[in-house]
Amino acid sequence: MPEVVLSETFAAARSRLDAALHDAGREPQAAELLAVSKTKPAAMIREAHGLGQRQFGENYLQEALDKQAELADLDDIVWHFIGPLQSNKTRQVAEHFDWVHSVDREKIARRLAEQRPDDRPLLNICLQVNISEEASKAGVTLEALEPLVESVLALPGVRLRGLMAIPAPSATAAEQRAPFARLREALDGLKARFPEAELDTLSMGMSDDLEAAVAEGATLLRLGTALFGARPRPTQRSDQ
């Protein structure tokens, strides 16, 4: 596996994002990179931080907690939990993260709200939508989205910021854009229905479909391999 030069990969990714925003007619600061650092060592996060990256996404709780402890001196990192979230893990996520992207049911949202420490800012959350209606993927359906939003907005301790989705892989740009467009339209509908809410986030788009996501309004692009290089083949984990 070739060695990754982070100064080059981050520069290339930022250039892609800048070009995509320009092509979409959006403002240069309308979207930012969320560096998905799962399975990568804390030393790589520290190096990326030195290159100006501040937003980092982790999927595995214990791995993330270990990295947070090692990087505690970098007090301006914004930590995003983006992996599947089990009920027995919500307390540590509520205590140690700034964002959660994978909330798809009221029970999880309520536990996060109740377990968020009073001395920490409100926990930013995104609702995960199963936008491609895949049986194998988590996420609330579009039909069930509005009642979930209404429930989450009533909770203390959390701030609903928007929606997240992981669409099914597509071969063409047009096919990539279609589910992102549906997610954007869903967020637009929620903004109209709940004008008092701070719904400003579309967490969508990864290394292979960044341009399509930006064209449809993404505000957070979750990039992993484009920044940190290939990951080892996944194995069964118990720390999610």
Q: Is residue 1 part of a domain?
A: no
Q: Is residue 203 part of a domain?
A: yes
Bridge partners (DSSP) of residue 179 are none
User: Per-residue DSSP letters for 47-98?
Assistant: HHHHTT--EEEES-HHHHHHHHHHTTT-TT-EEEE-S---GGGHHHHHHH-S
Range of the domain at 178: 6-224
Phi, psi values for residue 21, rounded to 5°:
-65, -40
Rounded to the nearest 10 degrees, how much is the dihedral formed by the CA atoms of 32, 35, 36, 40?
180
Q: Is residue 134 part of a domain?
A: yes
Q: Is residue 181 part of a domain?
A: yes
Q: Is the pLDDT of residue 239 over 70?
A: no
pLDDT tens digits for 129-171?
Answer: 999 887 778 899 999 999 999 999 999 999 999 999 999 888 8
CA distance 140 to 191: 18
* 3 confidence band (pLDDT: 50, 70, 90): confident
Q: Is residue 232 part of a domain?
A: no
**Number of domains, the chain:** 1
Q: Is residue 233 part of a domain?
A: no
Q: Is residue 237 part of a domain?
A: no
Q: Is residue 230 part of a domain?
A: no
Tell me if the pTM is above 0.75: yes
User: Per-residue DSSP letters for 107-140?
Assistant: HHHHHHHHHS-TTSPPEEEEEEB-TT--TTS--B
237, 157, 170, 152: which is closest to 206 by C-alpha? 170
CATH code, 101: 3.20.20.10
